[in-house]
Amino acid sequence: MLSYLRRNRQVTVGLTLLLILLLFAGVGRLLWDVGQAMPLSGPPNRPPSGEHPLGTDRQGRDLLAVMIVATPLTFYIGLLAGFIGVAIGTALALIAAYNGGRVDAIIRSVVDVGLTIPPLLVLILLAVSLHSGLTVSQMALVIASLAWLWPARTIRAKALSIKERAYVQIARLSGASSAKIIFLEIMPNLLPYLAATFVGTVSAAILASIGLEILGLGVIEANTLGITLYWVNYYSALLHGMWWWFLPPVIIIIMLFVGLFSVSSGLDELANPRKRRSL
């Protein structure tokens, strides 16, 4: 593993960026009073100073405390939505690929129709209908309601190619059950591809959550990166020159997406034999 990480710089860079963010959130809770992330915790509209290293927003919240709380919360939404989406997509893809026939046709048709619908429009309608009393976990479930479509299509295509390989045919002729073939023959060969798909789905889920939150369709009371940008837009911080308000969440979002993209691209080398290099 260490040898592979030294050779695959994309994975190394991505994991390093994600580790920096996790350390920032974890160590920050130990060294900084995150209670200052609540409104009226300090003087409003103050630029960075010794007392408030990242300044305060118009609601008097310490922005360093807000970033410490918002980073893992935004990541949690992406992880939960990505896990649910990949789990559902993988299950449907394996069922469709292994059984074929009418089952495959029905699942493929549902996925194809779902992918033709603009996802942001559907998410906005779902978020609007559930906006009252929406929690962070429910926000992740709203995003996960469409996060399974793309994994289902791509994993099905990969599973179809694995299904026709000799060792799967031998297992079938030896009398192995369908469940045994799926979990012992097909799934192990899908793991690198599932890992890359999961990272990509998490990235898409985080992007969707931030987009909905900037539109004001998230959990307004929650301290997430998207809600922070919503308040930045609501109070026109950019027009008022409050650069310390919008710059920290933008930098963290860039680091988060670059890290996830690098990890996903690096893992794609394991999933794609054409890109794989010898150790």
Mean pLDDT of 68-76: 94
CB of 147 closer than 8 Å to CB of 84:
yes
Which amino acid would we find at residue 248? Answer: P
pLDDT score at 240: 85
Query: How many distinct structural domains can be found in the chain?
Result: 1
- Note whether residue 14 is domain-resident: yes
pLDDT score at 279: 43
Element (H, E) at 69: helix 63-99
pLDDT digits (tens, 9 = 90+) for 16-28: 999 999 999 999 9
Q: Write out the residue range of the structural domain in which residue 262 sits.
A: 2-271
Helix ranges, 174-221 (H):
178-181, 187-214
pLDDT score at 192: 81
pLDDT band at 196 (very low <50, low <70, confident <90, very high): confident
- With a CB cutoff of 8 Å and minimum separation 6, the contacts of 111 are 92, 149, 152, 153, 156
Q: Does residue 117 carry a pLDDT above 90?
A: no
- Note whether residue 279 is domain-resident: no
Q: What is the CATH classification number for the domain harbouring 139?
A: 1.10.3720.10
- Note whether residue 211 is domain-resident: yes
Q: In angstroms, rounded to a whole number, what is the distance separating the alpha carbons of residues 78 and 123?
A: 15
Mean pLDDT of 49-57: 91
pLDDT score at 188: 83
Structure tokens at 165: 């390989």
If you average pLDDT over every residue of the chain, what do you get? 86
- Note whether residue 58 is domain-resident: yes
**Model pTM above 0.75:** yes
Q: Cα dihedral sign for 6, 12, 15, 18?
A: positive
pLDDT band at 278 (very low <50, low <70, confident <90, very high): very low
